[in-house]
Structures are given as structure tokens and as C-alpha cells.
Structure 1
Amino acid sequence: YFTEANQQKFLQSNIVITRVNSIYNFSLTPDRTTIITKGGTALFSHTLTNIGNSVDSYDLSHDYGLRPNVRIIVDRNNNGIVDAGETAITPDENGKHLVSNINPGERINILVSVPTSVGEAGSEINSKLHAESKGKTDLPKLSVDEQILFQTGGNAIVYKALNKASGSSENDTEITVYLKIANDDPTASNIAKDFSLTDTLDTKFKYVAGSAKWKNYNGIDTVLSDADDNESDSHNNQPLKFKAEKEGEKDKLTFELPNGVPGDSPLSSSNGYLEFRVVVPANTPIGTIPNEVNYKFTPTGETTSIPRISNRVNYEVLKYVRATFTGHHIPEGQAGETL
């Protein structure tokens, strides 16, 4: 304020303190159903998100009871499959699997691996995955459903994976996409016939022309043409079809194995996948690029095709900082001059 003598005075008011309390909250999503052959391993992918404002840890548990070798795994690169170096969480004596120190706003993918036997009774198995907060133990326990259905006569499975899970868009970023195509039926005669898939890419994924190749079930590579034409496996002359085309602003890829996916070609085998490259363009906004694949096949002994959807893979576009500095050039100055 100014005094009557026009002198300016500065004073400080009383101090007001606002205290931000710790709030604990979280989410667990979604319910999952998977279809496998008896004797195969079911794999479920769920997302656990800390939506509170404090670091928290969580106890995970399941309802599979004494079923042997059920594992809970943190999916470090969010690709929906168990990769090398991703190990199961060791449960405590109460069957709790601890996931520690999840930051506010952080989300992690949880995989539940459930082996089955060829002598399973019934046509399905039902269970739940549970999560409980360690930071606030009176929060309600959250649960998601898991359902295993059994397919007979050949069962095609497609798993999608990326060679990197995240990156900044300071420059164009190239990513390799893998589509593992398997048939978990242990009987070689049970072919998943008339197999085809369609991968409609997000607009932020740009297909690299001519980058597709097929690694057959004997481990032999065949480079694929983007044209809409019939091709053949370079090793055993089996028919193939691959096409890359535009659907509006999106790149759409289709792949066919007219002779089907042979039985006894499980996901654990190193062969049998379609590979191609995409580019995330420079200056793509921060966010998540999701992608999944639609596919269909006909089991041996059946006449009706079965439609399926692969696992969903997320690529995270991270923030980056970039700045330029421009200045003014003063060619000369005199002593005592202010520049």
C-alpha cells in the first residue's frame, strides 16, 4: 500500500496451508476369455492401474485352487506374451503374489498362465484374478473373470508382438511387428484349415512397403510381395497370399494360408510367423497406439469358419524435449556502450 507521504509499503498476509492427503485407489481390467486345446496353456492379460496419488503395492491371487503350475507374471513390455527374462512372482504362504511400488498413474500388465491337461473334465474352466491394495487395506478387493474354453479339431492362435514397447517421436521410429501363428492341437492331423488374418493398422503406424516376410514351420523365410497375388512358400511350395493396401488413412494387411495351420505347432515353437515393419512418424503426439489382429479358420471336420481376435499390443509414444535458440548478432561495440 502507499502511505499519505506516497511511500510504498510491502507486508505479508497470514500463511494458509493446504494439505494434500494420500488417496489410494486402483483398477483391474478386463474380463478375459481364451480358447485352447485341452493340454495347452491358457494365457490371460490384464491391466492393473494405480489411480490414486500415492505409491502403492498390491497382492494378487487367483481361484484356480490346487491346479499345478499356475503362474502370475508382470508383462514388462506389455506385449501380451511371456518373454525371456519375465519370471513368475513367487507367492507367499497365503497364495498372495506381491507387486511392489506402482507409482501414481502407472499401469502394468499382468499375465496369468494356466496349464491344462488332455484329460480335463468338461468344456470350460472358470476362475478369477483378485487384487488388493497394501497401502489402504480397507479398500474393496477388485476381481476380473477368466474363462478357458476348449476347441477340438485344430485351434489356430495368433499372438502379436513388437520389438519395442515405447519410444519418443523426436524422429521417425521404425518398429518390427511379429504375428505368431500357431495351432496348439497336439495331433498333427488336426489342421486349422482356410486360415486368414487381417491387420488394420492404427493411423500412427505406417507400413514399410516390401518389408513383409513369412517364416514357415520349418524355419524357412519367404519374402512377400505387397501386390494382391498368389504366392508360394519358398521351401515347400505351399500356397500363400499377402496383400498390403490402403483403407482410408489406414494401412490394411491381409495374409492367408489356404492349406491351413498344421497341428502340433504350438506358440512355444520358434517358427511360423509373419513379420513386417512399421514407422511411427516424427512428431506423433504422446499417447498409446493400440493394435490387434482379426483372424479366422475352420477346424478339421467342420464346415463353418471361426472368427477370433488376437491379443492387443500397445505402443507408447513418450514425451521428448526439443528446443532451438536464436540470438541477435551485434557486429561491434564501443567501450562503455550498453549492448
Structure 2
Amino acid sequence: MTEFNSKATFISKRFIWSQLGLLLIGLTSLFCNYAHAAALAGNIISNMAVGEYQEEGSTVVQTSRSNLVQTTIIPVYTFTLSADRSVAASAGQRVFFSHELTNTGNSNDRYTLAASNLTGDGFDYSTLAVYLDANRDGVPDGAVITAYSLAAGESVGLLVAGTVPAGTSNAAFGNASLTATSQTNSQAKLNTDRATVSNQAVILLRKSFSLTQANLNDIVTVRLDYENTSAVTSGAVQLTDILLPAQLSYVNDGTENWNGQLLNAATGSNDPAGIDYSVTNNTLTAILSSVPANTSGFIQFKVRVNHSLTGRIPNTVTFNYDHDNNSATAALTSSSNTALLTVKANYALEINALATSASSAPADNLLTAAAVASGADIVFRNYVWNTGNAEDRFNLSVNADNFPLPHQVEFFRADGVTPLLDSNGDSIADTGTLQPGEKLEIVVKVRTPTTFAASSTATYSVFPKAQSLGDTSKSDTVEDRGSL
């Protein structure tokens, strides 16, 4: 007669429920790890169920794992095109409308670009075309373009250019459109631009940075180019540039100038004739007494980069001007192009044995565990820190170890049970995405050999290695030391 073993049945059930519970834990931890940013197409979400159990009559905890299930993120194609523009213009003038195209999907895409005259207005533009404005200075870069490719998350500046017909009457307006169409899924976006003709003064303003990319504390020169495109001298023109202290701060080094003439950032009558220039609380104000017909000029000054994290610093100058030399009529208000400065991505990391800081001190990069008998597991808790200024993920491997053979080294999440898996398809376990300043606690488990017979207690070390995937030249190791 077969004897029913209720204890064995209980253990078996406990094992099954342990698997199911850990499956949920594994899924939760993996999905939470991607919550920081949209997963790129081709990224992998991996999952494995892990269960721990004991055989009846044994105190040895054993582990069982399911097959590895991997889900590959599929491409999603979305984008934005901004924004509708409206400017004043003189008859016969070539005008530029600035736009930004952004790939908000998770995969590379290519876009067809087309500028067209619209109906129901006062005139059509001649030589209507689209140009690249890669450095965001409001000036076309290179030849006419009809298509452009962007990686996921990238954006680019575009300019629609067209010429207002000579002899166009005052107050007439012309409408044009810019259409961007995804070549992958045919999704289309449209912006509408308008220029209104004036027979009075017309002032244009462009802003540019001397660099397109910079690091924290870099000094960058800013240039404001203004132009009166009309045949009428303007009245007073006031420019206002608000610098956000978290991004940029004004550098008062005595080199600020107006068409080469030095300026004084302090308030008061201390500037060359024709301009009143001052900076208060990181806001620049420049008042030009007038801008003669068909002339241009510039103002230059410097700023310091205060933004530490990688990303874009957009900046636009607003201005108003007396277009008809009549103080009884309202001044016209407009703005420059949006100049763009990008803070460079600098990748850095630390792997250590300290939960409270990304210390690289020798004492914080050595972890010593208590001695164990042969065949037992030695468990170490390490911490991978993203010390760079951009999100990153870090591959995990063993740089070196001298434990007796045969042994096994594995990486787990903080629970010591859920294995760290590959999330980017290179077949190497990694941390998943970590934001700047974020850390991931990991468990490094050394399974020592049961066949090793030590005559006396000996000390061994394993050196886990974390390697940046943003910059593979950046890596770090920690020493985990144990005894048998």
C-alpha cells in the first residue's frame, strides 16, 4: 500500500506558490525599472520564475528556475511639429518661420517635409522652401531639404523660407503651411505660418549661442542680431532676455558689447550713445533709441552654464518696438527664434559596498563576509550608482575571482532571489535604466564547491564589475571577500 506523505505534498505546494509569487515579483521589478522612460524599440523585458524549497528531512535550501521568457519592445511611431508662426514683413522681403520637429516615438523614423502656399489670403510667397536650422540660430544651414531622419527622442530645428512679392500692399497677409509626414506610417502634422506686410519699420531679432553643446560651468557667448528690413527708421526698440538661474547665469566680465563698443551691465547712464543696457536679477534689458532703415547690429554677452543634467536649454528673447515713430500708438511685440544649448551627456558610475553614498574610498569598495563551510553560499550586498548626468544602464560581470573551482557567481536583485537579467539584448545581465544619482542594490552570490576540502580557513575574493552602456569605456569594480 502506498503511504500518503502530507508533508511532502505541503512542500510541493509551497514550492509552486513560491514560483507564482516570485514570478509576480520578477515582473513587477522589471516593469518598474522601465518606468523612468519609454522603452526603446528592440529593448528586452526578461522574466524568470524562481522558487526555493527544501527536501523532506534536509536543511539544504535548493533553487529551481523556470525557462526564461523575453518580450521585445515593438516600434511605436509618433512625432510632433511645432508651432504656428506669425511675423511682420516688408514688401519684397524674404521671411523665415522657425519650427521644431521631434520624434516622440521609440524608434528611428524619416519624415517628408513640404512647404506650400495656402488660399484665402492676400498673396503667395515665391521660392517657398524648407531648410535645416541645426544650431538653432534662425539662419538656414545648407541647401533646401525635403526629408529628414530622427532617432527616438531627437528633435531638429526647421526654417520655412519664402519671399513676399514686391509691391504688396500694406496690411496684406500671406499664409503658408509646413507639413511633416512619417515615411513609416504616413502620419502627418501641419503648422500654419503668416506674414503681414507693413509700410512702417519692421524689426527682426535672432539669438544664437557660440556653442551647441556645453558642460556644467562652461562659459558661452550669446549674440543677439537685430535688423530693420524696411525703408523706415524705427523708434525705440527694447530687448528683454530672461535667463533662468537654474540653467544660465549672466557673466559680468566687462566684455559685453554693442557692435564692438563695450557696455556696462550696471543701471544708469553709463553706455554708449544710442543704447541703455543693464542686467538685473539675471534679466538683460537693452533699449535702442532707434534702428535706421535697412541696417543691422548686434549685442554680445556671456553666460555660465548652471544646468548639471544632460538636456536642452532653450532661450528666447522678447522685444517690442515703435514701428511708426508715434508714441500714441501701441508698440509692436515679437520674439526671436528659440536658441538652443545642449548640456553634454557625461557618463560615470560607482560600484561599492556602501548603501548611503557613491563613495570610491578603498574602505567602501571592500566587503568581507563571514566564513562559511564548503558547499554553502556566500552572499554580498553591493550598490551600483549612476554618478553621471544622464540616464544609463550598466552591464554586470565578474572582472576576476580566485574562489576554488568549481564555483558559480550570480547577480540578483536586493531580495537575493530574483536574478538580474539582460534588458538590451547583449546577453549580459544588467541593472536596467538608472537615472542620474540613482542606485541599484544588488546581491552577489557565490556558490562554493561541495567537493572542496580546506585544511584550514582560507580567504578568497571576487571582483564584480559594472560597465556603462552609455560610454563603454567607463567601468568600475568592487572587491567582495569571503572565507572557506
Report the TM-score range of the alignment, normalised by the length of the smaller protein: 0.7 to 0.9
Contact 2:256–2:263, Cα closer than 8 Å, also in 1: yes
Contact 1:89–1:98, Cα closer than 8 Å, also in 2: no
1:112 aligned onto 2:160 = yes
| 1:210-245 CA-partner distances (Å, limit 9, x unpaired) | 331000xxxxx2101122222464xxxx43211122
1:212 aligned onto 2:267 = no
Contact 1:42–1:115, Cα closer than 8 Å, also in 2: yes
2:332 aligned partner: 306
Partners of 1:313 and 1:62 lie apart in 2 by 23
| 1:165-219 CA-partner distances (Å, limit 9, x unpaired) | 22232xx11010101111011x2xx11111222222121211111331000xxxx
Letter in 2 for 1:202: L
Partners of 2:67 and 2:363 lie apart in 1 by 45
Name the Cα RMSD after superposition: 2.5
1:4 aligned onto 2:56 = yes
1:60 aligned onto 2:113 = yes
Contact 1:213–1:274, Cα closer than 8 Å, also in 2: yes
Change (3 A) 1:328 1:284: closer
1:2, distance to aligned residue in structure 2 (A): 2.4
1:200 aligned onto 2:242 = yes
Letter in 1 for 2:109: D
1:153 aligned onto 2:200 = yes
| 1:258-305 CA-partner distances (Å, limit 9, x unpaired) | 2x0011125xxxxx1010001013x62333322222222212453322
1:286 aligned partner: 310
Q: How many residues align?
A: 296
Question: What 5-or-longer segments of structure 1 have no aligned partner?
Answer: 91-96, 216-220, 267-271, 330-335
1:88 aligned onto 2:143 = yes
1:328, distance to aligned residue in structure 2 (A): 4.8
Change (3 A) 1:299 1:67: closer
Question: What 5-or-longer segments of structure 2 have no aligned partner?
Answer: 1-52, 119-123, 350-358, 365-456, 460-480
2:185 aligned partner: 136
Change (3 A) 1:4 1:146: same
Partners of 1:88 and 1:253 lie apart in 2 by 35
Q: With CA pairs under 8 Å and 6+ residues apart, which has the higher RCO, 1 or 2? A: 1
Partners of 1:300 and 1:11 lie apart in 2 by 83
Partners of 2:325 and 2:214 lie apart in 1 by 46
| 1:71-126 CA-partner distances (Å, limit 9, x unpaired) | 211211123333xxx11335xxxxxx1112x1111111111111223223561101
Paired residue for 1:254, among 267, 275, 285? Answer: 285
2:39 aligned partner: none
| 1:28-79 CA-partner distances (Å, limit 9, x unpaired) | 1111111121111111111111111111000011212885322211211123
Partners of 1:302 and 1:52 lie apart in 2 by 50
- Percent identity (aligned): 24
1:243 aligned onto 2:278 = yes
Contact 1:42–1:113, Cα closer than 8 Å, also in 2: yes
TM-score between both structures, scaled by the size of structure 2:
0.57
Partners of 1:257 and 1:150 lie apart in 2 by 23
Letter in 1 for 2:238: S
Larger radius of gyration: 2
1:322, distance to aligned residue in structure 2 (A): 4.3
Partners of 1:277 and 1:231 lie apart in 2 by 19
Paired residue for 1:295, among 319, 323, 328? Answer: 319
1:8, distance to aligned residue in structure 2 (A): 4.9
1:5, distance to aligned residue in structure 2 (A): 4.8
Contact 1:48–1:107, Cα closer than 8 Å, also in 2: yes
Partners of 1:300 and 1:8 lie apart in 2 by 88
Partners of 1:8 and 1:201 lie apart in 2 by 62
Contact 2:114–2:129, Cα closer than 8 Å, also in 1: no
**Tell me, what secondary structure is at the counterpart of 1:199?**
strand
Alignment of 1:319-334 (within 5 A): 319-322=345-348, 325-328=360-363
Deviates more, 1:61-70 or 1:172-181: 61-70
Change (3 A) 1:301 1:197: closer
Letter in 2 for 1:26: F
Letter in 2 for 1:4: E
Contact 2:79–2:102, Cα closer than 8 Å, also in 1: yes
1:93 aligned partner: none
Partners of 2:315 and 2:66 lie apart in 1 by 56
2:135 aligned partner: 77
1:333 aligned partner: none
**Tell me, what secondary structure is at the counterpart of 2:144?**
coil
Change (3 A) 1:192 1:19: same
Partners of 2:72 and 2:319 lie apart in 1 by 53
2:301 aligned partner: 276
Contact 1:193–1:297, Cα closer than 8 Å, also in 2: yes
1:163, distance to aligned residue in structure 2 (A): 0.7
Contact 1:231–1:239, Cα closer than 8 Å, also in 2: no
